[in-house]
Amino acid sequence: MNHALITPRIDRMRSAARSIVRELGFMQKGLAGTELSPSAVHTIIELGYGTVENAGDLGRLLHLEKSSISRLVQKLENEGLIEGGPHPSDKRSRILSLTPNGRNLLGDVEKYARRQLRSALDVLPADDVSQIETGLILFAKSLRAKPEHASGVVSGVELHQGYRSGVIASVAYLHASFYSQYYWFGSVFERKVATEMSEFMGRIDNPMNTTFSAYLGDELLGSVSLDGEDLGEGTGHLRWFIVSKEAQGMGIGNLLISKVTAFVDQYAFDRTRLWTFKGLDAARHLYEKHGFMLTDEATGTQWGTEVVEQEFVRQHGG
């Protein structure tokens, strides 16, 4: 830890960053003299620079889920700014590129941005400009080079795969305590989780079934399971995804969903399905980020309380 990074210093840097965001126009309707959103402008720039070549690359660069990227790409294609072509080695992917109109827009954006930055820096001495250049480059580099911080996963967290003593009771407890407090689920829900997970653990030795659990010492922070049997051949069932209230915001959920989708891809399931209910926005964000799409929703009571139940599906390789 850098002990020079005291709270007042951090807050001064945060204040400066907010000012930069405002003055460069990120809070306005359009960006860089256009009528486009910031994500659309970034798409034009990065495609023009060749930083990305397909929607998957774009999603990772902009930190947007698959559904948001699909809408963004479709909008820019409809406006005649980008176009897609077949990938030479992957039929499921399209190579994206700028159209002539897109290249013209890129030129306009570049001129606007350079003029904007030059007008701000012209009032400063050369030494100050040099310090700003070095500082921004180093700061951008430090943001990109922090995978643990980006996911938020703290040191000391251990990931365990498969059965571990006490995991059934711990997962049932996390579900019951969270959903009773925030969604008034009762004994029906707790019994359902404990009973069904107990049955599943009797089949855990099947290589198509697995559980990933994150621990800090002996404390369960979160867990998720993949049942490769109950929905039939070729379909995985993502079940019992939970993160403790104390661990939320630490990146545990993203770590668990990353592991379980990698497991699904390794065993080449045709699709993976999960059932949840409307209102769990943080979980939905993670599902969509990792390729799940909402396919159905209807009012139901399978968990003992009436909610809008939702089904999400992820196709293999999604």
CA angle 106, 78, 53 (to 5 degrees): 55
CA distance 262 to 249: 22
Contact 57, 43 (CB under 8 A): no
Residues of the chain with CATH 3.40.630.30: 157-315
DSSP 201: H
Neighbours of 136 (CB within 10 A): 11
CATH of 7-143, one of 3.40.718.10, 1.10.3720.10, 1.10.10.10, 1.20.950.20: 1.10.10.10
The pLDDT value given to residue 151: 46
The pLDDT value given to residue 142: 73
Contact 15, 22 (CB under 8 A): no
The pLDDT value given to residue 148: 44
The pLDDT value given to residue 250: 80
Q: What is the pLDDT of residues 151-200, one digit of tens each?
A: 455 567 889 999 999 999 999 999 999 998 888 888 999 999 999 999 99
DSSP string, 198-265: HHHHTTTTSTT-EEEEEEETTEEEEEEEEESSTT-TTEEEEEEEEE-GGGTTTTHHHHHHHHHHHHHH
Query: From the DSSP assignment, how many helices (H) and strands (E) are in the chain?
Result: 11, 9
> Contacts for 102-105 with beta carbons within 8 Å, 24 or more apart?
102/44, 102/47, 102/48, 102/76, 103/48, 105/34, 105/44, 105/81
Contact 65, 23 (CB under 8 A): no
Contact 82, 96 (CB under 8 A): yes
CA distance 260 to 244: 18
The tens-digit pLDDT sequence of the chain (318 residues) is 444 556 677 778 778 887 877 777 665 655 666 777 788 888 888 888 888 888 888 888 887 777 788 888 999 999 999 998 876 666 666 888 999 998 999 898 888 888 888 888 888 888 888 888 888 888 777 766 654 444 455 567 889 999 999 999 999 999 999 998 888 888 999 999 999 999 999 999 999 999 999 998 889 999 999 999 999 888 999 999 999 988 887 889 999 999 999 999 888 889 999 999 998 888 999 999 999 999 998 888 877 788 899 999 998 755
CA distance 169 to 181: 18
Q: Which CATH class is domain 157-315?
A: alpha beta
| Distance, C-alpha 275 to centroid of its chain | 19
Q: Is the pTM of this model over 0.85?
A: no
DSSP 130: H
The pLDDT value given to residue 30: 59
Exposed (0-12), middle (13-18) or buried (19+): which is 79, by Cβ within 10 Å? Answer: middle
CA distances from 193 to 28, 174, 232 (A): 47, 10, 21
Contact 258, 290 (CB under 8 A): yes
CA distance 193 to 19: 49
**Which phi and psi (to 5°) does residue 222 adopt?**
180, 160
Residues of the chain with CATH 1.10.10.10: 7-143
Contact 40, 73 (CB under 8 A): no
| Residue in 259, 211, 266, 204 with CA at minimum distance from that of residue 239 | 211
**Which phi and psi (to 5°) does residue 210 adopt?**
-160, 160
